[in-house]
Amino acid sequence: MTIRYLRRYRDGTRMNHWFVALMFFAAALSGLAFFHPSLFFLSTLFGGGQWARILHPFMGLLMVLGFAFLFFTMWRDNLMNAADRDWIRHAPKMLQGDKGAMPAVGKYNAGQKLVFWAFGISLLLLLVTGFMFWSPWFVDFFPILLRRIAVLVHAVAAVVLILSVIVHVYAAIWVKGTLRAMTRGTVTEPWAELNHPLWHRKMTRRE
Ligand code: HEM
């Protein structure tokens, strides 16, 4: 039997996605180095404490810029609808292995959509608050109380982003055949039929 493939991502989107992933790991590891003294050893990956401190905001900024391109090409496909609320209600059963009651899914399921918005909101908060204490460039524009709140929100948003990426990567590996969507740009037809039947129907309608 010959397996047919459907295109899920363009080359440019995939290259940008992996650039964002790389910048995420760089920004997260350098950021964790300042989070707690027990994690300071991570700064050696970037050439020591001073270099980690200098590079961290630039790597974070590049991650946000790359993500902005992903966001503007994908936000429409990630809008929640009534079927998504149904999906969330039945998700606990699916996690126990019973997929029977799950509603038909389009390009993304509700779990992917929630992770997408968690990425978007946490990155926006990281961007805005990061500027508020980026020393020596912008820090003097903001009063100390605002800067203290910004540091706290920055740390909480970073934790949310890191947890969301863990869920994202786990799901990408857990649902077999998904990784090739971002490595090759294509998925198999049986994968699409099983996991995203409405998207599969849309992609094959003309044939
Ligand atoms: C090693 C790390 C990562 C792996 C293995 C990975 C893997 C994947 C895979 C396989 C897909 C395709 C899913 C599908 O089409 O159903 C995907 C989509 C996506 N990834 Fe990643 N990813 C990683 C890191 C990241 C990071 C750090 C971000 C952003 C902060 C990100 C943002 C996205 C977005 C926005 C999509 C489109 C899916 C959607 O809109 O829900 N990824 N990723």
What pLDDT shows up at residue 25?
98
Residue whose C-alpha is closest to residue 172's, from 86, 112, 99: 112
Whether residue 206 is contained in a domain is answered as no
Asked if pLDDT for residue 206 goes beyond 70, the answer is no
Cβ atoms of 64 and 126 closer than 8 Å: yes
**What's the confidence (pLDDT) of residue 149?**
98
Ligand 1 centre to CA of 30 (Å) is 21
Band of pLDDT at residue 137, cut at 50, 70 and 90: very high
Assess if residue 36 is contained within a domain: yes
CA of 148 from ligand 1 middle (Å) equals 32
Instruction: Examine residue 142 and state whether it is found in any structural domain, yes or no.
Output: no
| 143 assigned to some structural domain | no
How confident is the model over 157-181, as pLDDT tens digits? 999 999 999 999 999 999 999 999 9
pTM: 0.95
CA–CA distances in Å: residue 138 to residues 128, 132, 144, 153, 174: 11, 6, 12, 17, 42
Beta strands 186-188 and 5-7, pairing class:
antiparallel
Band of residue 95 on the pLDDT scale cut at 50, 70, 90: confident
Domain containing 38 equals 10-71
> How many structural domains does the chain have?
1
Q: Report helix, strand or coil for 47.
A: coil
In a domain, 98, yes or no: no
- In the residue annotation, 90 being an active-site residue is answered as no
Distance of alpha carbon 156 from alpha carbon 201, whole angstroms: 40
Is 195 contained in some domain? no
Confidence (pLDDT) at 6 = 98
Any residues with Cβ below 6 Å from ligand 1, and which? Answer: 8, 17, 20-21, 24, 67, 70, 74, 78, 108, 112, 116, 119, 165, 168-169, 172, 178-179, 181-182
